[in-house]
């Protein structure tokens, strides 16, 4: 009996061994391909995909893979890209995002990059902190780290002006109408009643 258990375990590990090795080789290949492809993107998004404030390009390292795929596909098919001049700049790059295998390679590469830990200051008495935790943290996470199950992207590390522009676009309906995720975020942006609240919450997130 013991022998049989041992044997079946051995057979299982022999069967899974080569499959696993093949998977990791494929993944390493995809990461390498993504690294090459990302060279074009790095001029705006930064060599570590950390984003570049002066160009309005957000960080991509540490972002949820499922969100990256949706965002890239939306630029590729024109659902995003006309909101303002920053969006148009990204839209001009959309030719590089048409191929879904290449998108996957870039996403695999971005997932291989390390990101810094997010520190949340204890500011429960702060208006900005409370506004964020009450209206946004439930989906985007207490540290704005993102939530895969809720399809909510990571916001930590983004610049205040990028956040502010996106919130204004969701509010005005320029962004988000094309998907149910976007529509959800449109409703949430509308919970921010004033330009001051948009600025306050954007500034808070940008400190994370
Ligand atoms: C000319 C500069 C430039 C280049 C090159 C560029 N981007 Fe961008 N990208 C931007 C800007 C600016 C934005 C913000 C657009 C906005 O405000 O709507 C952006 C946004 C994005 C977003 C959406 C991020 C989010 O949080 O919603 C993704 C994904 C993205 N870029 C991927 C890429 C990839 C992949 C490449 C290379 C194939 C690339 N970009 C090349 C400027 C650039
Ligand atoms: C019900 C869940 C939910 C809540 C609450 C929520 N969001 Fe979102 N948010 C989303 C989803 C889903 C997306 C992705 C939308 C898309 O793919 O177009 C998103 C996208 C965003 C983006 C765009 C990020 C990018 O990379 O371009 C910003 C900025 C944002 N949210 C800020 C906020 C702020 C600030 C609040 C609080 C006022 C908030 N969200 C509340 C679900 C939520």
- What pTM value is reported for the model? 0.91
3-state DSSP assignment of residue 152: strand
Pocket test for ligand 2, best of 163, 188, 189, 200 (most atoms within 8 A of CB): 188
pLDDT tens by residue, 3-35? 555 545 544 444 554 555 667 888 999 999 999
Name residue 147's beta-bridge partners: 152
- Is 55 touching ligand 1 by the criterion CB < 6 Å? yes
Beta carbons within 10 angstroms of residue 39's beta carbon: 9
Can you list the pairs that 90-96 forms with residues at least 24 positions away whose Cβ atoms lie under 8 Å? 90/57, 93/40, 93/41, 96/37, 96/40, 96/41
* Average pLDDT, integer, range 142-163: 96
| CATH superfamily of domain region 27-115 | Cytochrome c-like domain (1.10.760.10)
**Domains 27-115 and 117-208 alike in fold:** yes
Atom number, ligand 2, closest to the C-alpha of residue 80: 18
- Is 57 touching ligand 1 by the criterion CB < 6 Å? yes
Domain over 117-208 is classified CATH 1.10.3720.10: no
pLDDT tens by residue, 174-196? 999 999 999 999 999 999 999 99
């Amino acid at each position: 009996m013991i022998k049989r258990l041992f044997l079946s375990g051995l057979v299982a590990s022999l069967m899974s061994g080569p499959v696993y090795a093949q998977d990791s080789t494929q993944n390493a290949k995809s990461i390498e391909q993504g690294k090459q492809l990302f060279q074009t993107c790095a001029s705006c998004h930064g060599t570590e995909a950390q984003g570049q404030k002066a160009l309005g390009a957000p960080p991509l390292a540490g972002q949820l893979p499922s969100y990256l795929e949706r965002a890239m596909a939306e630029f590729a098919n024109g659902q995003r890209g006309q909101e303002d001049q920053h969006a148009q700049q990204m839209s001009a790059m959309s030719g590089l995002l048409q191929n879904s295998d290449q998108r996957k390679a870039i996403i695999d590469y971005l997932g291989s990059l390390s990101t810094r830990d997010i520190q949340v200051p204890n500011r429960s008495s702060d208006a900005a902190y409370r506004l964020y935790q009450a209206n946004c943290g439930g989906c985007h996470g207490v540290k704005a780290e993102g939530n895969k199950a809720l399809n909510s992207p990571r916001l930590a590390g983004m610049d205040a002006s990028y956040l502010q522009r996106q919130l204004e676009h969701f509010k005005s309906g320029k962004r988000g109408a094309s998907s149910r995720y976007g529509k959800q975020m449109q409703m949430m942006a509308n919970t921010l009643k004033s330009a001051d609240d948009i600025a306050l919450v954007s500034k808070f997130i940008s400190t994370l």
